[in-house]
Chain A
Amino acid sequence: MTRRARERALTLSLYAVFVVIVVVVALLADWEAITANFFLREGFTGTWRAMILVAAKNTILYTVVAFAGGFVLAMVLVLMKLAPVAPFRWLATGYIELFRGLPAIVVILFMGFGVPIAFGWRPPGGVVGAGLVALMMVAGAYMAETIRAGIEAVPKGQTEAARSLGMNGSWTMASIVMPQALRIVIPPLTNELVILLKDTSLLFVLGMAASQQELTVAARNLMSSGPSAGTATSLVFAALLYLAITLPLTQLVAWMERKQKRSR
Protein backbone atom coordinates (compact mmCIF):
# COMPACT_ATOMS: atom_id res chain seq x y z
CA MET A 1 0.00 0.00 0.00
CA THR A 2 1.23 3.48 -0.78
CA ARG A 3 1.26 6.13 1.92
CA ARG A 4 -1.73 7.88 0.42
CA ALA A 5 -3.74 4.67 0.31
CA ARG A 6 -2.89 4.01 3.96
CA GLU A 7 -4.06 7.48 4.95
CA ARG A 8 -7.31 7.00 3.01
CA ALA A 9 -7.94 3.69 4.75
CA LEU A 10 -7.37 5.26 8.17
CA THR A 11 -9.78 8.12 7.46
CA LEU A 12 -12.45 5.73 6.19
CA SER A 13 -12.16 3.47 9.23
CA LEU A 14 -12.52 6.48 11.57
CA TYR A 15 -15.73 7.43 9.76
CA ALA A 16 -16.94 3.82 10.05
CA VAL A 17 -16.33 3.76 13.82
CA PHE A 18 -18.25 7.03 14.17
CA VAL A 19 -21.24 5.69 12.20
CA VAL A 20 -21.28 2.48 14.27
CA ILE A 21 -21.32 4.47 17.54
CA VAL A 22 -24.20 6.64 16.33
CA VAL A 23 -26.21 3.62 15.17
CA VAL A 24 -25.62 1.70 18.41
CA VAL A 25 -26.64 4.67 20.57
CA ALA A 26 -29.74 5.26 18.44
CA LEU A 27 -30.75 1.59 18.68
CA LEU A 28 -30.10 1.26 22.42
CA ALA A 29 -31.70 4.55 23.43
CA ASP A 30 -35.18 4.37 24.88
CA TRP A 31 -36.73 6.94 22.56
CA GLU A 32 -40.13 6.55 24.09
CA ALA A 33 -38.84 7.43 27.57
CA ILE A 34 -36.79 10.31 26.21
CA THR A 35 -39.71 11.82 24.32
CA ALA A 36 -42.14 11.33 27.19
CA ASN A 37 -39.82 12.87 29.81
CA PHE A 38 -37.88 15.54 27.97
CA PHE A 39 -39.75 16.48 24.83
CA LEU A 40 -43.42 16.27 25.70
CA ARG A 41 -45.22 18.25 22.99
CA GLU A 42 -47.65 19.94 25.38
CA GLY A 43 -44.69 21.09 27.44
CA PHE A 44 -43.77 23.43 24.61
CA THR A 45 -47.11 24.33 23.00
CA GLY A 46 -48.88 24.92 26.30
CA THR A 47 -46.20 26.92 28.14
CA TRP A 48 -44.39 29.09 25.61
CA ARG A 49 -46.17 32.26 26.68
CA ALA A 50 -45.10 31.91 30.29
CA MET A 51 -41.64 30.69 29.36
CA ILE A 52 -40.78 33.24 26.69
CA LEU A 53 -42.87 36.34 27.39
CA VAL A 54 -42.46 36.24 31.17
CA ALA A 55 -39.55 34.03 32.23
CA ALA A 56 -37.06 34.64 29.40
CA LYS A 57 -37.94 38.34 29.44
CA ASN A 58 -37.27 38.50 33.18
CA THR A 59 -33.99 36.62 32.80
CA ILE A 60 -32.82 39.18 30.24
CA LEU A 61 -34.11 42.08 32.32
CA TYR A 62 -32.32 40.86 35.45
CA THR A 63 -29.13 40.30 33.48
CA VAL A 64 -29.18 43.80 31.99
CA VAL A 65 -29.94 45.46 35.34
CA ALA A 66 -27.23 43.51 37.19
CA PHE A 67 -24.72 44.13 34.40
CA ALA A 68 -25.39 47.88 34.24
CA GLY A 69 -25.18 48.21 38.01
CA GLY A 70 -22.10 46.00 38.13
CA PHE A 71 -20.41 48.07 35.44
CA VAL A 72 -20.96 51.35 37.29
CA LEU A 73 -19.70 49.75 40.51
CA ALA A 74 -16.69 48.33 38.64
CA MET A 75 -15.76 51.78 37.30
CA VAL A 76 -15.91 53.21 40.82
CA LEU A 77 -13.72 50.35 42.11
CA VAL A 78 -11.19 50.84 39.29
CA LEU A 79 -10.91 54.57 39.98
CA MET A 80 -10.47 53.77 43.67
CA LYS A 81 -7.69 51.33 42.79
CA LEU A 82 -5.96 54.13 40.86
CA ALA A 83 -6.46 56.70 43.63
CA PRO A 84 -3.37 58.43 45.02
CA VAL A 85 -4.67 57.91 48.57
CA ALA A 86 -3.75 54.41 49.79
CA PRO A 87 -6.86 53.66 51.94
CA PHE A 88 -9.05 53.94 48.84
CA ARG A 89 -6.87 51.39 47.09
CA TRP A 90 -7.01 49.06 50.10
CA LEU A 91 -10.78 49.36 50.26
CA ALA A 92 -11.20 48.55 46.58
CA THR A 93 -8.75 45.62 46.76
CA GLY A 94 -10.48 44.28 49.86
CA TYR A 95 -13.89 44.52 48.21
CA ILE A 96 -12.74 42.81 45.01
CA GLU A 97 -10.97 39.98 46.83
CA LEU A 98 -13.94 39.45 49.16
CA PHE A 99 -16.60 39.21 46.48
CA ARG A 100 -14.51 37.19 44.06
CA GLY A 101 -13.74 34.76 46.85
CA LEU A 102 -17.35 34.10 47.88
CA PRO A 103 -19.86 31.85 46.09
CA ALA A 104 -22.46 34.13 44.48
CA ILE A 105 -25.24 32.18 46.14
CA VAL A 106 -23.92 33.06 49.61
CA VAL A 107 -24.04 36.76 48.70
CA ILE A 108 -27.55 36.34 47.28
CA LEU A 109 -28.82 34.67 50.45
CA PHE A 110 -27.09 37.30 52.58
CA MET A 111 -28.63 40.22 50.70
CA GLY A 112 -31.99 38.48 50.22
CA PHE A 113 -32.56 37.40 53.80
CA GLY A 114 -29.72 38.43 56.12
CA VAL A 115 -29.53 42.16 55.48
CA PRO A 116 -33.31 42.84 55.20
CA ILE A 117 -33.94 41.09 58.52
CA ALA A 118 -31.02 42.73 60.30
CA PHE A 119 -31.71 46.31 59.21
CA GLY A 120 -35.38 46.23 58.27
CA TRP A 121 -34.34 47.01 54.67
CA ARG A 122 -37.18 46.71 52.16
CA PRO A 123 -35.45 46.36 48.81
CA PRO A 124 -37.29 47.68 45.73
CA GLY A 125 -38.84 44.73 43.91
CA GLY A 126 -38.88 42.71 47.12
CA VAL A 127 -36.55 39.81 47.66
CA VAL A 128 -35.69 39.69 43.93
CA GLY A 129 -34.47 43.29 44.12
CA ALA A 130 -32.17 42.31 46.96
CA GLY A 131 -30.93 39.36 44.90
CA LEU A 132 -30.19 41.67 41.98
CA VAL A 133 -28.17 43.94 44.27
CA ALA A 134 -26.18 40.85 45.29
CA LEU A 135 -25.53 39.92 41.64
CA MET A 136 -24.41 43.51 40.96
CA MET A 137 -22.00 43.41 43.88
CA VAL A 138 -20.42 40.17 42.68
CA ALA A 139 -20.36 41.18 38.99
CA GLY A 140 -18.83 44.55 39.90
CA ALA A 141 -15.87 42.84 41.57
CA TYR A 142 -15.14 40.67 38.52
CA MET A 143 -15.64 43.49 36.03
CA ALA A 144 -13.35 45.79 38.02
CA GLU A 145 -10.51 43.31 37.61
CA THR A 146 -11.27 43.00 33.89
CA ILE A 147 -11.30 46.76 33.33
CA ARG A 148 -8.12 47.22 35.37
CA ALA A 149 -6.41 44.65 33.14
CA GLY A 150 -7.66 46.62 30.12
CA ILE A 151 -6.15 49.83 31.48
CA GLU A 152 -2.83 48.07 32.03
CA ALA A 153 -2.95 46.78 28.45
CA VAL A 154 -2.93 50.34 27.07
CA PRO A 155 0.70 51.12 26.21
CA LYS A 156 2.49 53.43 28.64
CA GLY A 157 3.49 55.65 25.71
CA GLN A 158 -0.14 56.77 25.39
CA THR A 159 -0.11 58.28 28.87
CA GLU A 160 3.34 59.76 28.28
CA ALA A 161 2.23 61.38 25.02
CA ALA A 162 -0.85 62.90 26.65
CA ARG A 163 1.04 64.13 29.71
CA SER A 164 3.86 65.56 27.59
CA LEU A 165 1.23 67.61 25.74
CA GLY A 166 0.26 69.16 29.08
CA MET A 167 -2.94 67.20 29.67
CA ASN A 168 -3.54 66.52 33.36
CA GLY A 169 -4.01 63.05 34.89
CA SER A 170 -7.82 63.11 34.82
CA TRP A 171 -8.12 64.21 31.20
CA THR A 172 -5.50 61.68 30.19
CA MET A 173 -7.49 58.92 31.86
CA ALA A 174 -10.86 60.10 30.53
CA SER A 175 -10.02 60.84 26.90
CA ILE A 176 -6.92 58.75 26.15
CA VAL A 177 -6.56 55.69 28.38
CA MET A 178 -10.14 54.73 29.31
CA PRO A 179 -11.60 54.74 25.76
CA GLN A 180 -8.81 52.43 24.60
CA ALA A 181 -9.08 50.21 27.70
CA LEU A 182 -12.84 49.78 27.27
CA ARG A 183 -12.35 48.80 23.64
CA ILE A 184 -9.89 46.14 24.73
CA VAL A 185 -12.23 44.71 27.38
CA ILE A 186 -15.41 44.51 25.28
CA PRO A 187 -14.88 40.77 24.56
CA PRO A 188 -14.11 39.77 28.18
CA LEU A 189 -16.97 41.97 29.43
CA THR A 190 -19.33 40.20 27.03
CA ASN A 191 -18.14 36.94 28.59
CA GLU A 192 -19.02 38.41 32.00
CA LEU A 193 -22.46 39.17 30.58
CA VAL A 194 -22.93 35.51 29.61
CA ILE A 195 -21.79 34.35 33.06
CA LEU A 196 -24.14 36.85 34.68
CA LEU A 197 -27.04 35.64 32.54
CA LYS A 198 -26.47 32.10 33.79
CA ASP A 199 -26.04 33.34 37.37
CA THR A 200 -29.51 34.93 37.36
CA SER A 201 -30.69 31.31 37.79
CA LEU A 202 -29.26 31.47 41.33
CA LEU A 203 -32.06 33.91 42.26
CA PHE A 204 -34.00 30.64 42.34
CA VAL A 205 -33.15 30.27 46.05
CA LEU A 206 -35.06 33.42 46.98
CA GLY A 207 -38.54 32.43 45.89
CA MET A 208 -40.51 34.93 43.83
CA ALA A 209 -43.95 36.04 42.67
CA ALA A 210 -45.29 34.56 39.41
CA SER A 211 -44.70 37.76 37.44
CA GLN A 212 -41.09 37.90 38.67
CA GLN A 213 -40.13 34.36 37.69
CA GLU A 214 -37.04 33.91 35.57
CA LEU A 215 -36.29 30.86 33.42
CA THR A 216 -35.00 28.45 36.04
CA VAL A 217 -37.77 29.09 38.58
CA ALA A 218 -40.43 28.94 35.87
CA ALA A 219 -39.05 25.64 34.57
CA ARG A 220 -38.84 24.18 38.07
CA ASN A 221 -42.47 25.10 38.76
CA LEU A 222 -43.62 23.65 35.43
CA MET A 223 -42.05 20.33 36.38
CA SER A 224 -44.69 19.88 39.07
CA SER A 225 -47.68 21.67 37.57
CA GLY A 226 -49.06 22.54 34.15
CA PRO A 227 -49.25 20.58 30.90
CA SER A 228 -45.89 18.81 31.22
CA ALA A 229 -46.00 18.19 34.96
CA GLY A 230 -44.08 15.15 36.11
CA THR A 231 -41.58 15.45 33.24
CA ALA A 232 -38.41 17.45 32.69
CA THR A 233 -39.70 18.95 29.45
CA SER A 234 -39.78 22.47 30.93
CA LEU A 235 -36.11 22.15 31.91
CA VAL A 236 -35.23 21.24 28.33
CA PHE A 237 -37.29 24.23 27.17
CA ALA A 238 -35.44 26.51 29.58
CA ALA A 239 -32.09 25.08 28.48
CA LEU A 240 -32.92 25.74 24.83
CA LEU A 241 -33.92 29.33 25.65
CA TYR A 242 -30.69 29.91 27.62
CA LEU A 243 -28.69 28.60 24.68
CA ALA A 244 -30.65 30.75 22.24
CA ILE A 245 -29.31 33.80 24.12
CA THR A 246 -25.82 32.66 25.17
CA LEU A 247 -24.64 30.98 21.95
CA PRO A 248 -24.98 34.13 19.77
CA LEU A 249 -23.19 36.11 22.49
CA THR A 250 -20.26 33.68 22.74
CA GLN A 251 -20.03 33.60 18.94
CA LEU A 252 -20.01 37.40 18.97
CA VAL A 253 -17.11 37.36 21.46
CA ALA A 254 -15.16 34.91 19.29
CA TRP A 255 -15.75 37.13 16.25
CA MET A 256 -14.66 40.28 18.11
CA GLU A 257 -11.52 38.55 19.38
CA ARG A 258 -10.58 37.41 15.86
CA LYS A 259 -11.13 40.96 14.63
CA GLN A 260 -8.98 42.46 17.39
CA LYS A 261 -6.21 39.99 16.66
CA ARG A 262 -6.24 40.95 12.98
CA SER A 263 -6.16 44.69 13.63
CA ARG A 264 -3.16 44.37 15.93
Chain B
Amino acid sequence: MEELHPTQTIDERAPAIQVRDLHKSFGDNEVLTGIDFSVDHGQVVCVVGPSGSGKSTLLRCVNRLEEPTSGQIFVEGIDITDPDTELDKVRSRIGMVFQQFNLFPHMTVLRNLTIAQQRAKKRGKAEAETIARENLDKVGLADKIHAFPAHLSGGQQQRVAIARALSMNPDMMLFDEPTSALDPELVGDVLDVMRALAHDGMTMMVVTHEMGFAREVGDKLVFMDGGVIVEEGDPVQVLNDPQHRRTQSFLSKVL
Protein backbone atom coordinates (compact mmCIF):
# COMPACT_ATOMS: atom_id res chain seq x y z
CA MET B 1 0.00 0.00 0.00
CA GLU B 2 1.28 3.41 -0.85
CA GLU B 3 1.47 6.01 1.81
CA LEU B 4 -1.69 8.01 2.33
CA HIS B 5 -1.43 11.50 0.94
CA PRO B 6 -1.37 13.93 3.88
CA THR B 7 -4.36 15.92 2.60
CA GLN B 8 -6.42 12.74 2.16
CA THR B 9 -7.41 12.29 5.78
CA ILE B 10 -10.27 14.05 7.48
CA ASP B 11 -9.05 16.70 9.89
CA GLU B 12 -11.61 17.17 12.66
CA ARG B 13 -10.22 20.57 13.66
CA ALA B 14 -10.32 22.00 10.14
CA PRO B 15 -13.37 23.99 9.02
CA ALA B 16 -16.06 22.01 7.21
CA ILE B 17 -15.40 24.01 4.07
CA GLN B 18 -12.49 26.32 3.42
CA VAL B 19 -12.00 28.15 0.14
CA ARG B 20 -8.71 29.89 -0.69
CA ASP B 21 -8.27 32.39 -3.52
CA LEU B 22 -10.74 30.59 -5.77
CA HIS B 23 -10.94 31.65 -9.41
CA LYS B 24 -13.28 30.20 -12.00
CA SER B 25 -13.61 31.18 -15.64
CA PHE B 26 -15.92 29.93 -18.36
CA GLY B 27 -13.87 30.73 -21.44
CA ASP B 28 -13.05 34.44 -21.29
CA ASN B 29 -15.74 35.07 -18.72
CA GLU B 30 -14.28 35.13 -15.19
CA VAL B 31 -17.15 34.25 -12.87
CA LEU B 32 -15.23 33.98 -9.59
CA THR B 33 -12.35 36.40 -9.10
CA GLY B 34 -10.61 35.38 -5.89
CA ILE B 35 -12.91 33.98 -3.21
CA ASP B 36 -11.76 33.31 0.34
CA PHE B 37 -14.28 32.00 2.78
CA SER B 38 -15.09 29.21 5.17
CA VAL B 39 -17.94 27.32 6.78
CA ASP B 40 -17.44 25.92 10.28
CA HIS B 41 -18.88 22.66 11.53
CA GLY B 42 -22.53 23.06 12.48
CA GLN B 43 -22.70 26.49 10.87
CA VAL B 44 -25.46 27.58 8.49
CA VAL B 45 -24.03 29.94 5.89
CA CYS B 46 -26.41 31.67 3.49
CA VAL B 47 -25.01 33.06 0.24
CA VAL B 48 -27.04 35.80 -1.41
CA GLY B 49 -26.51 38.14 -4.31
CA PRO B 50 -27.86 39.18 -7.70
CA SER B 51 -28.09 36.58 -10.46
CA GLY B 52 -24.78 36.18 -12.25
CA SER B 53 -22.85 37.07 -9.11
CA GLY B 54 -21.20 33.62 -9.08
CA LYS B 55 -22.87 32.27 -5.94
CA SER B 56 -24.12 29.06 -7.57
CA THR B 57 -20.76 28.54 -9.25
CA LEU B 58 -19.04 28.87 -5.87
CA LEU B 59 -21.38 26.28 -4.36
CA ARG B 60 -20.86 23.90 -7.29
CA CYS B 61 -17.08 24.22 -6.95
CA VAL B 62 -17.31 22.92 -3.38
CA ASN B 63 -18.15 19.40 -4.59
CA ARG B 64 -16.34 19.97 -7.88
CA LEU B 65 -19.36 19.81 -10.14
CA GLU B 66 -17.48 22.79 -11.54
CA GLU B 67 -13.74 22.51 -11.97
CA PRO B 68 -12.01 25.48 -10.30
CA THR B 69 -9.63 27.37 -12.57
CA SER B 70 -7.25 28.08 -9.70
CA GLY B 71 -7.22 28.21 -5.93
CA GLN B 72 -7.86 25.57 -3.30
CA ILE B 73 -10.94 24.11 -1.66
CA PHE B 74 -10.63 22.07 1.53
CA VAL B 75 -13.52 19.92 2.70
CA GLU B 76 -12.88 18.79 6.28
CA GLY B 77 -9.22 19.44 5.65
CA ILE B 78 -9.07 17.42 2.42
CA ASP B 79 -7.92 19.36 -0.62
CA ILE B 80 -10.53 18.43 -3.23
CA THR B 81 -8.66 20.29 -5.98
CA ASP B 82 -5.82 17.77 -5.56
CA PRO B 83 -6.03 15.27 -8.47
CA ASP B 84 -5.18 12.43 -6.03
CA THR B 85 -8.31 13.04 -3.98
CA GLU B 86 -10.92 10.31 -4.24
CA LEU B 87 -13.67 12.61 -5.37
CA ASP B 88 -16.53 10.09 -5.15
CA LYS B 89 -15.74 9.44 -1.48
CA VAL B 90 -15.65 13.15 -0.65
CA ARG B 91 -18.85 13.77 -2.58
CA SER B 92 -20.73 11.07 -0.68
CA ARG B 93 -20.05 13.12 2.48
CA ILE B 94 -21.44 16.30 0.90
CA GLY B 95 -25.20 16.31 0.30
CA MET B 96 -26.34 18.47 -2.58
CA VAL B 97 -29.83 19.82 -3.29
CA PHE B 98 -30.55 21.38 -6.68
CA GLN B 99 -32.91 24.09 -7.83
CA GLN B 100 -34.54 21.66 -10.28
CA PHE B 101 -34.68 18.76 -7.73
CA ASN B 102 -33.09 16.33 -10.23
CA LEU B 103 -34.85 13.27 -8.87
CA PHE B 104 -34.39 10.17 -11.02
CA PRO B 105 -37.71 10.06 -12.90
CA HIS B 106 -37.51 6.36 -13.82
CA MET B 107 -37.29 5.24 -10.19
CA THR B 108 -39.69 5.23 -7.27
CA VAL B 109 -39.05 7.52 -4.33
CA LEU B 110 -37.63 4.58 -2.37
CA ARG B 111 -35.24 3.63 -5.19
CA ASN B 112 -34.17 7.28 -5.53
CA LEU B 113 -33.11 7.11 -1.89
CA THR B 114 -31.42 3.70 -1.95
CA ILE B 115 -29.57 3.59 -5.29
CA ALA B 116 -26.56 5.69 -4.27
CA GLN B 117 -26.41 4.08 -0.83
CA GLN B 118 -26.03 0.70 -2.50
CA ARG B 119 -23.81 1.75 -5.40
CA ALA B 120 -21.53 4.27 -3.69
CA LYS B 121 -21.68 3.32 0.01
CA LYS B 122 -22.02 -0.43 -0.69
CA ARG B 123 -24.81 -0.76 1.84
CA GLY B 124 -27.08 -3.81 1.71
CA LYS B 125 -30.61 -3.44 0.38
CA ALA B 126 -32.33 -3.87 3.75
CA GLU B 127 -30.06 -1.38 5.50
CA ALA B 128 -30.43 1.14 2.68
CA GLU B 129 -34.23 0.85 2.79
CA THR B 130 -34.34 1.32 6.56
CA ILE B 131 -32.26 4.49 6.27
CA ALA B 132 -34.41 5.67 3.36
CA ARG B 133 -37.61 5.23 5.41
CA GLU B 134 -36.15 7.17 8.34
CA ASN B 135 -35.24 10.09 6.11
CA LEU B 136 -38.57 10.10 4.29
CA ASP B 137 -40.20 10.26 7.71
CA LYS B 138 -37.99 13.20 8.56
CA VAL B 139 -39.25 15.19 5.56
CA GLY B 140 -42.85 14.10 6.16
CA LEU B 141 -43.30 11.99 3.03
CA ALA B 142 -43.36 8.43 4.38
CA ASP B 143 -46.64 7.80 2.52
CA LYS B 144 -45.03 8.61 -0.89
CA ILE B 145 -42.41 5.87 -0.65
CA HIS B 146 -43.66 3.95 -3.71
CA ALA B 147 -44.67 7.00 -5.78
CA PHE B 148 -42.80 8.13 -8.88
CA PRO B 149 -41.39 11.69 -8.90
CA ALA B 150 -43.74 12.82 -11.68
CA HIS B 151 -46.71 12.23 -9.35
CA LEU B 152 -45.36 14.55 -6.64
CA SER B 153 -45.67 18.32 -6.36
CA GLY B 154 -42.54 20.43 -6.69
CA GLY B 155 -42.34 20.91 -2.94
CA GLN B 156 -42.67 17.18 -2.33
CA GLN B 157 -40.02 16.45 -4.96
CA GLN B 158 -37.62 18.85 -3.30
CA ARG B 159 -38.21 17.27 0.11
CA VAL B 160 -37.56 13.83 -1.43
CA ALA B 161 -34.35 15.26 -2.91
CA ILE B 162 -33.32 16.43 0.56
CA ALA B 163 -34.12 12.99 2.00
CA ARG B 164 -32.08 11.42 -0.80
CA ALA B 165 -29.05 13.52 0.09
CA LEU B 166 -29.52 12.81 3.82
CA SER B 167 -29.63 9.07 3.19
CA MET B 168 -25.91 9.17 2.44
CA ASN B 169 -25.35 10.46 6.02
CA PRO B 170 -23.45 13.50 4.78
CA ASP B 171 -21.35 15.67 7.07
CA MET B 172 -22.66 18.80 5.35
CA MET B 173 -25.36 19.90 2.92
CA LEU B 174 -25.17 22.27 -0.06
CA PHE B 175 -28.39 23.91 -1.24
CA ASP B 176 -28.47 25.56 -4.67
CA GLU B 177 -31.51 27.87 -4.65
CA PRO B 178 -33.70 25.04 -3.31
CA THR B 179 -36.96 26.99 -3.37
CA SER B 180 -36.52 29.10 -6.52
CA ALA B 181 -38.38 26.67 -8.79
CA LEU B 182 -41.31 26.25 -6.40
CA ASP B 183 -44.76 27.81 -6.37
CA PRO B 184 -44.92 30.28 -3.47
CA GLU B 185 -47.33 28.17 -1.42
CA LEU B 186 -44.93 25.19 -1.52
CA VAL B 187 -41.84 27.07 -0.34
CA GLY B 188 -42.78 26.89 3.35
CA ASP B 189 -42.69 23.09 3.62
CA VAL B 190 -39.19 22.93 2.13
CA LEU B 191 -37.92 25.73 4.37
CA ASP B 192 -39.42 23.93 7.40
CA VAL B 193 -37.39 20.83 6.56
CA MET B 194 -34.23 22.91 6.15
CA ARG B 195 -34.91 24.74 9.42
CA ALA B 196 -35.25 21.39 11.24
CA LEU B 197 -31.98 20.22 9.70
CA ALA B 198 -30.23 23.37 10.92
CA HIS B 199 -31.60 22.85 14.43
CA ASP B 200 -30.21 19.31 14.39
CA GLY B 201 -26.78 20.85 13.91
CA MET B 202 -26.23 20.09 10.21
CA THR B 203 -23.49 22.10 8.51
CA MET B 204 -25.20 23.92 5.65
CA MET B 205 -24.23 26.20 2.79
CA VAL B 206 -27.34 27.69 1.24
CA VAL B 207 -27.53 29.78 -1.92
CA THR B 208 -30.92 31.44 -1.62
CA HIS B 209 -33.17 34.42 -2.21
CA GLU B 210 -35.12 33.72 1.00
CA MET B 211 -33.91 36.60 3.18
CA GLY B 212 -36.31 35.61 5.95
CA PHE B 213 -34.71 32.18 6.17
CA ALA B 214 -31.22 33.70 6.11
CA ARG B 215 -32.10 36.11 8.91
CA GLU B 216 -33.80 33.53 11.10
CA VAL B 217 -31.72 30.37 10.56
CA GLY B 218 -28.40 31.59 9.19
CA ASP B 219 -25.29 31.92 11.37
CA LYS B 220 -23.50 33.85 8.66
CA LEU B 221 -24.60 35.78 5.61
CA VAL B 222 -22.34 36.17 2.59
CA PHE B 223 -23.21 38.78 -0.03
CA MET B 224 -21.61 38.21 -3.45
CA ASP B 225 -21.55 40.46 -6.48
CA GLY B 226 -19.44 40.37 -9.63
CA GLY B 227 -17.53 37.23 -8.63
CA VAL B 228 -16.29 38.50 -5.26
CA ILE B 229 -17.55 38.45 -1.69
CA VAL B 230 -18.58 42.06 -1.04
CA GLU B 231 -19.66 41.69 2.55
CA GLU B 232 -20.15 38.94 5.11
CA GLY B 233 -21.16 38.71 8.73
CA ASP B 234 -24.03 38.10 11.12
CA PRO B 235 -27.21 37.89 9.02
CA VAL B 236 -29.26 40.24 11.17
CA GLN B 237 -26.49 42.82 11.16
CA VAL B 238 -25.84 42.62 7.41
CA LEU B 239 -29.54 42.74 6.57
CA ASN B 240 -30.34 45.61 8.95
CA ASP B 241 -27.21 47.65 8.49
CA PRO B 242 -25.36 46.78 5.26
CA GLN B 243 -21.98 48.51 5.11
CA HIS B 244 -21.27 48.33 1.42
CA ARG B 245 -23.13 50.34 -1.19
CA ARG B 246 -23.68 47.32 -3.48
CA THR B 247 -25.17 45.37 -0.58
CA GLN B 248 -27.44 48.28 0.24
CA SER B 249 -28.69 48.61 -3.32
CA PHE B 250 -29.29 44.84 -3.66
CA LEU B 251 -31.13 44.58 -0.34
CA SER B 252 -33.26 47.63 -1.14
CA LYS B 253 -34.52 45.76 -4.22
CA VAL B 254 -35.28 42.39 -2.60
CA LEU B 255 -36.48 43.30 0.88
Contacts and interface: CB of A to CB of B under 8 A. Distances in A.
Interface of A: 155, 157-158, 160-168, 171, 175-176, 179-180, 183, 263
B129 to A, nearest CB: 16
A167 B120 contact: yes
Contacts of B93: 166
Interface string B147-175: 00010000000000100110010000000
Contacts of A167: 88, 115-116, 119-120
Contacts of B95: 164
B180 to A, nearest CB: 14
A162 B105 CA distance: 12
Given A166-B91, A167-B88, A161 B119 contact: no
Contact of B65 (A158, A163, A166, A183): A163
A110 B94 CA distance: 56
Contacts of B100: 155, 157
B70 to A, nearest CB: 22
A76 B225 CA distance: 47
Contacts of A160: 65, 96, 98, 102
Interface in B80-119: 88-89, 91-96, 98, 100, 102-106, 115-116, 119
B244 interface: no
Nearest to B174: A164
A165 B165 contact: yes
B121 interface: yes
A180 B102 CA distance: 13
19 contacts: A157-B102, A160-B96, A160-B102, A162-B104, A163-B65, A163-B88, A164-B95, A165-B91, A165-B164, A165-B165, A166-B89, A166-B92, A166-B93, A167-B88, A167-B120, A171-B120, A180-B104, A180-B105, A183-B106
Nearest to B119: A171
Most buried by B among A162, A165, A179: A165
B203 interface: no
Grouping DSSP codes into helix (H, G, I), strand (E, B) and loop, the A interface class, with mixed when no group exceeds half, is helix
B18 interface: no
Interface residues of B, number: 27
A164 B119 contact: no
Given A167-B88, A168-B88, A158 B104 contact: yes
A193 to B, nearest CB: 22
A251 B93 CA distance: 49
B63, B94, B106 pick with most chain A CB within 10 angstroms? B106
Nearest to A179: B106
Contacts of A179: 106
A175 B150 contact: no
A166 B150 contact: no
Query: When A and B form their complex, which 9 residue pairs have the shortest distance between CB atoms, in order from nearest?
Result: A166-B92, A165-B116, A166-B120, A161-B102, A164-B96, A157-B102, A166-B91, A171-B119, A166-B88
Contact of A165 (B105, B106, B120, B150): B120
A173 to B, nearest CB: 12
B95, B105, B119: most-surrounded residue (chain A CB, <10 A):
B119
A180 B106 contact: yes
B104 A161 contact: yes
Given A168-B88, A179-B106, A180-B105, A162 B116 contact: yes
B91 A164 contact: yes
Contacts of B89: 166
Contacts of A165: 91-92, 96, 116, 120, 164-165, 168
A183 B150 CA distance: 15
B154 to A, nearest CB: 14
A168 B168 CA distance: 14
Contacts of B150: 263
A158 B102 contact: yes
A176 to B, nearest CB: 6
Nearest to B115: A175
B212 to A, nearest CB: 27
A33 B103 CA distance: 65
Nearest to B121: A166
A179 B116 CA distance: 16
A166 to B, nearest CB: 3
Contacts of B94: 164
B102 A175 contact: no
